[in-house]
Structure 1
Amino acid sequence: MNMETPHRTPARTGLLLINLGTPDAPTAGAIRRYLRQFLSDRRVVEFPRALWLAVLYLFILPFRPRRLVHAYEKVWTARGSPLLAISRDQQQALASTFGADVVVGLAMSYGEPSIENALAELESAGVRRMLVLPMYPQYSGTTTAAAFDALFAALRQRRWMPELRTIGSYHDDAAHIEALATSIESWWQAHGRGEHLLISFHSIPRAYVEAGDPYFCQCQKTARLLAARLGLETGAWSVSFQSRLGRQPWLMPYSDIVIPQLATARGVRRLDVVCPGFSADCLETLEEVAIRYAADFAAAGGETLRYIPALNAQPVHIAALAELCRQHLQGWLETPAEDAAEIAARLQRVEAIGPTLDSPSLR
């Protein structure tokens, strides 16, 4: 053990961004590995364990990955997974914004880059104070809490844990609402405005909300604040929930049912859809909404469904995230950084103390 190593490194402040995760490639094998990890999380699926694992390994993992290959191929980019590529852009943009004051790391709850590897990188950079930001504006046990579970599990393996702060949600953060509204307005200026704005959030099982998950209420508040900021009248916007899986009731109304009905029952010809629960575009927005739902809308008689991209790494988003983080970093950023003279003085004190540990293995 080199006793000088920690004394040579100035204590720094870190920011760890955590998103859900993505397969490494648009292949059945990679998708299967990802789904195995994701769907094995007790936070994500709360069914009785033995029953769920039987369903997962006998009915889902043998077949669903092959069915998802085509969907992932449609959205895969030259940089790989859109979620990972955009997340890295966000990481780099925030790192540029904070400069030397904050070391910005990136991790995924499932897949790579792993939380363990991200922690190791931050530790090697001298991070002793860490703010953790799960990239989910609305809190849910299936996402935010799952990220914290994985983080704390990784921290349990570390000898020297950093000081820790966490952000649970930012669904009603004023700067975030303003960023969403500004992004939508810019998109409307460039592409024209549709007849109706559908605000679609990822759904979760209704039983989770009934058990106390605040997700539904936070989604509704985000939508209400966003509609008010955009000046939308009643009837000009609505909320729905997408991406449900299985037969149990999930949060309603379901996007895949609402969207055709807007064409058939309301006569909407041009529909705009935004998904403010996603901080970065991914399979659920780029393939499910922008491609599949658009086809469903057209089949129901609608003229066009236009998906308004997520905030991604837009400057307005990065500015809002930076402001959010600064609020939670108060007291840490004001701590003066150690200079070379302070580190040198500390090393002299270490040398003066000399080898005092009695254990031969530590000498």
Structure 2
Amino acid sequence: MKLATKIIHAGAEPDPSTGAVMTPIYQTSTFVQEAPGQHKGYEYARSQNPTRFALERAFAAIENAQFGLAFSSGVAATDTVIKLLQPGDEVIAASDMYGGTYRLFTKVYEKFGIRFHYVNMQQAENIVPFVNGNTKLVWMETPTNPLMNIADIAAIARITKEHKLLLCVDNTFASPYLQNPLDLGADLVMHSATKYLGGHSDVIQGALMMNDVALRDQLYFLQKSCGAVPGPQDCFLVLRGIKTLHVRMQRHCENGEKVAHYLRNHPKVGKVYWCGFEDHPNYEIAKRQMRGFGGMLSFTLKDESIEAANKVLSSTTVFSLAESLGGVESLINHPASMTHASIPREERLKNGLTDSLIRLSVGIEDIDDLIADLKQAIG
């Protein structure tokens, strides 16, 4: 199937008992067994649920994967990947990444004896000096949150395969519409399905996609044992959201490009971080591994004071000041005090995340209204 057709039909089969086109919400905690151990594939809803299984088939299809797993949140999916490790193991992680991932690594798993090395992955070879006998996993984002840096998935995958390391790519910002890391050599793909996959800011969920059956079984065992499962209503909402992923992403890309160029030409704007600019340091890699540049971007003002940034953040009317991203509505965010507040200030500054940086999730509203809102807010 072509991409748009696959996205609409992924995981969807008519309900065998009624012929319902949409997957039913199986709102049940348990399932009747004919005799002990004799059932119809479902025993207990923490382990199996038909609505969830339909979503997991959809997850696999849209990422060109053999298997998908649905989790209660993106952080829960990340947490389950790290539970594959043991004390003494080491992880190479991107220095520029989502603050919640950094918080999980540093505040939770470091105390269990797992060591993390934070590396600028814009040059793949930067990870090589940190590989040793204890290294088990490379964790990367591309584009990164919120500085829109791009890492070469295929180049990093060649290194991880050479050293027999697991490579997990957080593909939340790009979505499967723009990028498929498994096709480029990754072993695992993680999504905060809360964002573009759900698409309507009404559900919290995470996803993992993979091709290796043994890896899938390990992750499923950990999920079942630790309980990081989504409810059937949430699975239904993400299934519904995926059906319009392609048309939403087309508009996100169109609007994102126009907003990025508007901001770059604004006399009061300092720097705009968007990977679609031809002078972006990683533009050629982005162009090669992505099918578009998305609706996420960040910018600074020439007046770099926090007061100037706060004025803009508090003055928009179409852009809502809020956490999260990837919904149909446009959001404006202050990473230093919101999504990335858990990262120490000196670490943020070292990676280029200044106190005055503003992040935009450009929605699918009329572009003229979005530009007018930014114009009046920036002044």
Q: Which structure has the larger Rg over C-alpha atoms? A: 1
TM-score by length of 2: 0.28
Higher share of residues assigned helix: 1
Q: Which has the higher contact order (CA 8 A, sep 6+)?
A: 1
